[in-house]
């Protein structure tokens, strides 16, 4: 096991900058998720740890070793590929044991070890099969087994669950979580699925356009998204974002927007300073923090009912205002089913997020710092 450090790493493909001036530290035993939309540079970052790409500038360290230009085979890493990369001409036992074969282990030894790992992953009964004869979920576990069969400093995952259907993905995610708790491996995991990142990571690096926008534990990313981009990316459905007018008076900020009735909001001194002159802000509220207003809420927002989607445990209620902006709430009571016409939703001030015109989050009064 080892830590990983990126030191001002830039990677360009021709004119295109995939990763730009990246500084990132990943601790020993951490499970880091690189989260972002396609083209954000997360896979390139992972492949630079693996040695499948070489940085244009900057250095990459694994533990104390500078591995920037080291061949993948010398890095003591394991990797699970998106397409599993199982060898179609080898049975599962040979696939899993292949890393041991290249290390010169005897056939008896490596097959014994392959069986051991396969049993842990519940594919021990399939070892004689060929990859084409097993299901996608089993293929995924086979490629996982091949990564686990030999000791590595770092385990790398390149969207390993994205080729599975929804049900299998949940199952595999739970299993990975269990494995991480069991082994305490250092892992870097690339995904575009925020739920995977939330469920697995000790820290999430949210990436956008080649840069890390926020690097924090999952709950921190969820509770205090650094920018509107993060707020929009993490959470399902994403955070509601609404342009508002803001006026600062007596250490309070008063928000104004169509359909919005907001209590004066105490803001931190730092935020008040930052607010100076900024009258246009973005208000953010998570769908799960909205309730149907019964009167007495600190803040309310109203609009015409646009959609009312029953999900079973909850209902997704979407409102549309006159300016076509939409607002979604997750309502956990059945009353939402009877909603008609104009609807008023309420939310507590402690659940308000404010972002400056550049999209950066403003610290609130009730939060330290």
Partner 1 sequence: MRSFSLLSRSAGAAFLTPAGLLIGAFVIAPFFWVIYVSFTNRTLLGRTAMNPDFVGFANYFSLFDAASFFTRGEFGFSLILTVQFVLLSALAGQAALGMLLAWMLQSVPKSLKRLTEAVVIAAWILPEVVVAFAWFAFLDYENGTLNMIMDALGLPPGDWLLSFPFWVIVVFNTWRGTAFSMMLFNSAFSSIPPSYFQAADVAGATSWQKFRDIGLPLIRGHVVTDLILITMWTFNVFTPFLLTSGGPSYRTEILPIYTYRVAFRDFEFGKGAAVGVIVMLINLVFALFYLWVTRRRAKGVAA
Residues that bind partner 1 (CB under 8 A): 50-52, 71-75, 77-79, 81-83, 85, 87-89, 98-99, 101-103, 143, 146, 150, 156
Q: With beta carbons less than 8 A apart as the criterion, state whether 25 and 4 touch.
A: yes
Looking at the Cβ atoms of 62 and 212, the one nearer to partner 1 is 62
Looking at the Cβ atoms of 61 and 211, the one nearer to partner 1 is 61
Rounded to whole angstroms, the Cα distance separating 53 from 62 reads 15
Looking at the Cβ atoms of 54 and 333, the one nearer to partner 1 is 54
Determine if the peptide bond prior to 240 is cis (ω within 30°): no
Report the nearest approach of partner 1 to the CB of residue 80 (Å): 9
Looking at the Cβ atoms of 110 and 361, the one nearer to partner 1 is 110
CB contact set of 21 (below 8 Å; sequence gap of 6+): 8, 9, 10, 58, 211
Looking at the Cβ atoms of 31 and 150, the one nearer to partner 1 is 150
Take residue 224 and report the two structure tokens written for it: 């205090």
Please give the biggest Cα pair distance in the chain.
77
Using the structure block, give the residue that is written with the tokens 């697995």: 200
Looking at the Cβ atoms of 81 and 306, the one nearer to partner 1 is 81
Rounded to whole angstroms, the Cα distance separating 174 from 186 reads 17
What sign for the dihedral angle of Cα 36, 38, 43, 45?
negative
Q: What is the DSSP code (8-state) at residue 161?
A: T
Rounded to whole angstroms, the Cα distance separating 226 from 303 reads 28
Which among 6, 68, 25, 35 has a CA at the least distance from the CA of 205?
35
Using the structure block, give the residue that is written with the tokens 């490596």: 110
At residue 149, the 3 state secondary structure works out as: coil
Q: With beta carbons less than 8 A apart as the criterion, state whether 319 and 305 touch.
A: yes
Looking at the Cβ atoms of 105 and 320, the one nearer to partner 1 is 105
């Amino acid at each position: 096991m080892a830590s990983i450090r990126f030191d001002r790493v830039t990677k360009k493909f021709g004119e295109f900058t995939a990763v730009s001036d990246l500084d990132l530290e990943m601790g020993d035993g951490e499970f880091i998720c690189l989260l972002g939309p396609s083209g954000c540079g997360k896979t390139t970052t992972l492949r630079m740890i693996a040695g499948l790409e070489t940085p244009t500038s900057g250095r990459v360290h694994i533990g104390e070793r500078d591995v920037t230009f080291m061949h993948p085979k010398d890095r003591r890493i394991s990797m699970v590929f998106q397409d599993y990369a199982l060898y179609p001409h080898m049975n599962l036992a040979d696939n899993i044991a292949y890393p041991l074969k290249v290390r010169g282990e005897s056939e008896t030894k490596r097959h014994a070890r392959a069986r051991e790992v396969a049993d842990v992953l519940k594919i021990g009964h399939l070892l004689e099969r060929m990859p084409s004869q097993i299901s996608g979920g089993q293929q995924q576990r086979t490629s996982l087994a091949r990564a686990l069969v030999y000791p590595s400093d770092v385990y790398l995952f390149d969207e390993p669950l994205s080729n599975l259907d929804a049900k299998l993905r949940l199952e595999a995610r739970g299993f990975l979580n269990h494995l991480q708790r069991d082994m305490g491996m250092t892992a870097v995991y690339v995904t575009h699925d925020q739920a995977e990142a939330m469920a697995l990571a000790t820290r999430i690096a949210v990436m956008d356009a080649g840069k890390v926008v926020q690097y924090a534990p999952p709950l921190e990313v969820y509770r205090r998204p650094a920018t509107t981009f993060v707020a929009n990316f993490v959470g399902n459905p994403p955070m509601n974002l609404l342009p508002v007018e803001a006026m600062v008076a007596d250490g309070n900020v008063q928000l104004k927007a169509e359909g919005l009735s907001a209590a004066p909001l105490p803001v931190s001194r730092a935020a008040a300073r930052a607010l100076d002159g900024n009258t246009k802000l973005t208000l953010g509220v998570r769908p799960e923090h909205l309730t149907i207003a019964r009167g007495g809420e600190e803040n309310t927002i109203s609009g015409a009912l646009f959609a009312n989607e029953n999900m079973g445990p909850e209902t997704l209620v979407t409102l549309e205002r006159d300016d076509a902006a939409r607002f979604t709430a997750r309502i956990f009571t059945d009353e939402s089913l009877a909603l008609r016409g104009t609807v008023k939703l309420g939310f507590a001030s402690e659940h308000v997020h404010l972002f400056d015109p550049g999209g950066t989050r403003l610290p609130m009064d009730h939060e330290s710092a």
